[in-house]
Structure 1
């Protein structure tokens, strides 16, 4: 008998949807580290490099809080190295098991997002690299602009399937079809 259940990506059965103006896709679960402490984004660069996490992105998650996100699953030794590099300035909590990332891109991405969130998505108000903790309908998530027409939505694992299905319905209303 197994001591613990086998890990299964929560959106494993979901396919990407695409149309000329929109793309919705489940992203690799990878890693998501929550950093809390007296440090800014610039101050996180060296500890990320020390732990070999240069490819990860830094996202604001509130006052003196950051999410470090990436596509690669991390062994506990790399998380410990990152935590050690931050010793005395910040604490690290691995959230990889509890949150899921969803990608949304294309010229119609802001149109789709406007149907569920009150965040002003105009590039002058929400430029590339900006993050906001917000609601999409009734589901809390972190919304990050990753490119001119690209967004990443990070949601608690237990709400990921419901959010994805809501986004699927909206993407289909914009002409998206399952990717073959």
Structure 2
């Protein structure tokens, strides 16, 4: 008898790994690590501590006042989390959200059109530049949207809403394709 349930990526399988077409690509990103950092540390100082703790490839995304998400594709090593927690002691708190959230990439020439069907955020590059992030709603689901490139975005959603968001994005992609035609 197993003591703990086995981890299964929520968007695993052929139906949920990626969808491409009509100028949009939806892709389930690796369930690597996602850390929630809360405290009075500045992003540059946080980046330096991340590098020292072995998270140099991770990205920092603003998640609210004095709050950041640290996201990366590599699985979280307990030693790395311990090192980061020790380095940030007295400056910030770290909460591992890796198993509680899922990341989805929306990219392609029609990615902004697709996302505009679900959120009121102005995603024009002049307003929402690369590296910008916002906590918002896509339909009825709370997500963080990060612009990762000119025509690419990363959406972070609570794990229990990932399949619902995926289905909504798939329907919005079909609607965006009709609008382009």
Unaligned 5+ runs, structure 1: 176-180
Kept after mapping to 2: 8 A contact 1:101/1:155: yes
Q: Quote the residue 2:57 is aligned against.
A: 55
Structure whose residues are more often helix by fraction? 2
Kept after mapping to 2: 8 A contact 1:22/1:107: yes
User: Which structure carries more relative contact order (alpha carbon 8 Å, separation 6+)?
Assistant: 1
Residue 20 of structure 1: CA displacement?
A: 5.3
Q: Quote the residue 2:11 is aligned against.
A: 11
Matching residue within 97, 100, 108 for 1:98? 100
| Secondary structure of the structure 2 residue equivalent to 1:6 | coil
Residue 46 of structure 1: CA displacement?
A: 1.3
| Secondary structure of the structure 2 residue equivalent to 1:132 | strand
Q: Quote the residue 1:178 is aligned against.
A: none
Separation (CA, whole Å) in 2 of partners of 1:59 and 1:88 = 21
Using structure 1 for the length normalisation, give the TM-score.
0.94
Unaligned 5+ runs, structure 2: none
Separation (CA, whole Å) in 1 of partners of 2:9 and 2:157 = 13
Q: Quote the residue 2:23 is aligned against.
A: 21
Matching residue within 66, 69, 73 for 1:67? 69
Separation (CA, whole Å) in 1 of partners of 2:100 and 2:76 = 14
Q: Quote the residue 1:152 is aligned against.
A: 154
Q: Which moved more, 1:82-91 or 1:147-156?
A: 82-91
Root mean square deviation of aligned Cα: 1.3
Q: Quote the residue 1:131 is aligned against.
A: 133
Q: Does 1:116 align with 2:81?
A: no
Separation (CA, whole Å) in 1 of partners of 2:17 and 2:149 = 22
Residue 60 of structure 1: CA displacement?
A: 0.1
- In structure 2, relative to structure 1, the CA distance for the partners of 1:26 and 1:117 (3 Å cut) is same
